Homo-oligomer: A and B are copies of this chain.
Amino acid sequence: MKLIADISIIPLGVGLSLSSYVAVCEEVFTEAGLEPNLHANGTNVEGEWDTVMAALKMCHERLHDMGVPRIATNVRLGTRVDREPSMDAKLESVREKMKK
């Protein structure tokens, strides 16, 4: 089952500068072969359900290993079986509608 996910990770108890932790998770996703698309409020990844979820777990584990005591993550998950899901296709489809 393929999964499209939008992941927003908020480390708690480490002050206000969160970017170094977000960068670690980007690396984790990249190492997992997920080609993350970072945006201002999260990152988009697509892949097999188990691959994405294993990377997300590793991200939490790595941040805790770095000393982050608490993490609050928001994830939007999309699966579909009518056709192959694709982030590029989603974006392209909206952009086409906007041209009209």
Which residues of A are at the interface with B, using a C-beta cutoff of 8 A?
1, 4-6, 8, 10, 12-13, 15-20, 22-23, 26-27, 37-42, 44, 46, 49-50, 53, 57, 60-61, 64, 69-82, 87-88, 90-91, 93-98
B38 engages A91 (CB within 8 Å): yes
How many protomers of this protein does the assembly include? 4
Smallest distance from the beta carbon of A68 to chain B beta carbons, Å?
8
B6 engages A8 (CB within 8 Å): yes
A38 engages B94 (CB within 8 Å): yes
In the docked arrangement, what's the CA distance between A39 and B94, Å?
A: 10
A57 engages B49 (CB within 8 Å): yes
B98 engages A27 (CB within 8 Å): yes
